[in-house]
Amino acid sequence: MPNTNPKSISSNQTEDPAFNSIAEHLPGMIYRIQNNADWNTLYLSKGTYELTGYTAEELMSEEGPTLASLIVAEDYDRVWLEGQTAIKLEQPYEITHRINTKSGEQKWVLSKGQAKYTTEYYENSEATIPELVVEGILLDINLQKETEIALLNSEKRFRKIVDGSLEGILIHRDWQPVFINKSLVKMLGYDSDEQIYNLDSMSSIIAAHERERLKAYAQARLEGEKAPNNYEFEALHNDGSIRCLEVESSLMDWKGETAILSTLIDRTEKKRAIVQAENQRQQLAHINRLNMFGEMSAGIAHELNQPLTAIVNRCAAARNRINSEQPNLEKVKEALISIQEQAQRSGDIISNMREMVKTKQSKKQEIDIAEIIHFCITFIKTEGFFKNTSITTNVTENLPKVIGDPIQIQQVILNLIHNSRDAMQGVKNNDRHLTISAINHDDHEIQVSVSDSGTGISQKVESELYQSFFTTKKDGMGMGLSICRTIITAHKGRLWFSRNAQQGVTFRFTLPTV
Ligand code: ADP
C-alpha cells in the first residue's frame, strides 16, 4: 500500500467557495483521504472538531494523530475490510464503528463514502499515476446507536423474562404464530421454535374436537363480540397425547396489526391429581361404608347375643319349673316377664341400629344417667354369675342430665360390665368385686366408671384394645370396646381405662352435661 505523504493544500478549505460553505455547515466530518492503512488526510471539514475533539489541522499535521488511530482498536479490522471490499468492487460503503475522541470518550459514527482516482491535489505534475482517494462523510450516530443498544438490551431482558416464564406465550394472527416463547415449545413437546413456526396453522395444536369452539372464540374476539378470556381446552402434544391447557386470551397490537395474545398453563397434572383424589375419596367412602356396615352387623350380632342368651336361659328355667313336681308359677311368671323384656330389648336394639343406618344419627335426648345405671344393674342381677359378685354403685345424687341416646349409653355400660364379668371368671367367688360409679366430673361433664377385680389388661392387649375384632376370648367378637368408643365419641365424650392399685381395671367415660 502506498504511503506517500501528500501535501495538504488546506485543512478545511478547498478552492471551491461554494463547497467550502456547504462543508462548513453540514453536520459531521467530510473527508478526503488516501486509501492507505493510516488514511492520510487530504481534506477534512470544519465539523471534524465537533465530532472528534481534534481540529482538522491537528489531524492533518504530521505530529497529530492519524485518522486511522482514532478508530477503536476492536473495530479497526472490520472497518478496513468492509471499506476495502467496497473499494475493490467500486461501490460506495457504509460502515458503522466507534472512534476515540480527544477527550477519551467513545463515539459511534457512520462512515459513508466511495473511492475514486484523482491527481488533482498533487502539485507535482510529474505524478501521472492517478491516486486512489476516498471521499466521504463521518456522521455522529452516538445517540441513535446508544438508543438502539438500550432497546436491544431491553429486548434481550424482555425475551429472557418471557422465556423464563413458566407460562407458554403465543401471539398469533390468522392462526399463524408471530411470537412464541420457550415454555410453549416445551409445553407442546417440540424441540425448537422453528418446528412451531413451521406448522401450517396453530390450530393444529388444538385437539380436533375443540377447534371449532376455539376458532369461534377468536373470531368473536376479533369482531369485538363477547368471547371468554379465560378458559380450558384440550391441546395436542407433539407425542400425540392430549394435554389440558388453561388459556388467557386478549387482543394486542403486534407490529401495527391486531393479533391474539394467549398465555397458557398446563393443567394436565393438576387435573389428573384432582381426578385421582376424587377417586381415592370415593374409594375411601366406599371402604368406610363397608367398615360401618361390617361394624354394625357385628354390633347387632354382639348386642343381640346378650338378650337372646338371656331368653334361652329364662326359657330353660321356666320349662324346668313347669316340669317340676310342684311348679312355682310365680317364678315362671317372673321368667316370662324377663323373656318379654329381653325380647323387647332385642327389638329396640335392632330398630335403633336401623335408625342409625337410615339417618346416620342416633336419637339424642336428655337422659338421667342414674336411671340408666339402675336399669343395667337390675338387668345383670338376673344373670347367675353376678349372684357371687359384690356389686357396688356409687352414683352422686342429683347428677346433671346429659344429652344422649339412652339405648346406646345402656349398651356401653352393659358392655363394660360384661367385660368385667368375663375378666373375673377365673377369680374366686369372694374376690369378685364390681363397682359402678357416676360422678359430677366438672361443671361440664359427668364421669361414669365400671371397675372390676378381674385379671387386668396387659401392655400387649392394651395396644390393640379398641381395634375392631380384637379379642382374647374363645367366643369373643372383639367388637364391644370399639363400638363403645364409637358411641362415646359420637356423644362428644371420651372413653379410657386405668389399672387398679389392687386388682383389675376401671373403664371410664365422660358425657357432656346439658
Ligand atoms: P370382646 O369382649 O368380644 O373380646 P371387647 O372389644 O369388648 O371384645 O374386648 C376386647 C378385649 O379387651 C377382650 O377380649 C379382653 O381381652 C380385653 N378386655 C376388655 N375389658 C376388659 C376388662 N375389664 N378386664 C380385662 N380385659 C378386658
User: Atom 23 (ligand 1): residue with closest C-alpha?
Assistant: 420
Q: Please count the CA atoms within 13 angstroms of the CA of 385 that sit on its side-chain side.
A: 19
- Can you give the residue ranges of every domain in the chain? 7-141, 165-266, 273-512
465 lines ligand 1 (CB under 6 A): yes
pLDDT at site 10: 42
Index of the ligand 1 atom closest to the CA of residue 472: 14
Domain 165-266, classified CATH 3.40.50.10490, yes or no: no
pLDDT band, very low/low/confident/very high, at 229 (cuts 50, 70, 90):
very high
416 lines ligand 1 (CB under 6 A): no
For residues 436 and 376, is the Cβ–Cβ distance under 8 A? yes
CATH architecture for segment(s) 273-512: 2-Layer Sandwich (3.30)
Q: Report whether pLDDT(113) > 90.
A: yes
3-class DSSP assignment, residue 470: coil
More confident residue, 47 or 122: 47
477 lines ligand 1 (CB under 6 A): yes
CATH class for the domain made up of 7-141: alpha beta
**pLDDT digits 0-9 by tens, 360-419:** 445 678 999 999 999 888 878 777 778 889 999 999 999 999 998 887 898 899 899 999
**pLDDT digits 0-9 by tens, 292-339:** 566 667 777 777 888 898 899 989 989 998 988 888 888 899 889 989
Residue 110 main-chain phi, psi, to 5 deg? -115, 125
pLDDT at site 287: 55
Q: Report whether pLDDT(97) > 90.
A: yes
Index of the ligand 1 atom closest to the CA of residue 470: 10
User: Atom 14 (ligand 1): residue with closest C-alpha?
Assistant: 471
Of 27, 21, 23, 56, whose CA–CA distance to 138 is shortest?
27
What is the distance between the alpha carbons of residues 128 and 137, in angstroms, rounded to a whole number?
Answer: 27
pLDDT at site 372: 93
Mean pLDDT, rounded, of the chain: 87
Q: Report whether pLDDT(2) > 70.
A: no
More confident residue, 95 or 131: 95
Q: What's the Cα-to-Cα distance from 333 to each of 324, 355, 396, rounded to whole Å?
A: 15, 32, 34
Of 216, 266, 213, whose CA–CA distance to 242 is shortest?
266
Q: Which three cell numbers stand for residue 319?
A: 320349662
470 lines ligand 1 (CB under 6 A): yes
pLDDT at site 295: 65
**pLDDT digits 0-9 by tens, 48-61:** 999 999 999 999 99
d(CA 490, ligand 1 centre) in Å: 21
Element containing residue 135 per DSSP (H, E): strand 131-140
Least confident range of 1-15, 128-142, 192-206? 1-15
d(CA 471, ligand 1 centre) in Å: 6
480 lines ligand 1 (CB under 6 A): yes
Q: Do domains 7-141 and 273-512 have the same CATH topology?
A: no
**pLDDT digits 0-9 by tens, 453-497:** 999 999 999 999 998 778 999 888 788 898 889 889 989 999 999
User: Atom 7 (ligand 1): residue with closest C-alpha?
Assistant: 480
**pLDDT digits 0-9 by tens, 171-226:** 999 999 999 999 999 999 999 999 999 998 999 999 999 999 999 999 999 999 99
pLDDT at site 367: 93
Of 48, 36, 46, 38, whose CA–CA distance to 14 is shortest?
46
pLDDT at site 3: 34
- Would you give the distance in Å from CA 47 to the centre of its chain? 65
Amino acid letter, residue 320: N
pLDDT at site 373: 95
Query: What is the pTM assigned to this prediction?
Result: 0.41
- Taking residue 211's Cβ as centre, other Cβ atoms within 10 Å add up to 16
pLDDT at site 354: 61
**pLDDT digits 0-9 by tens, 141-179:** 999 988 998 999 988 888 888 888 889 999 999 999 999
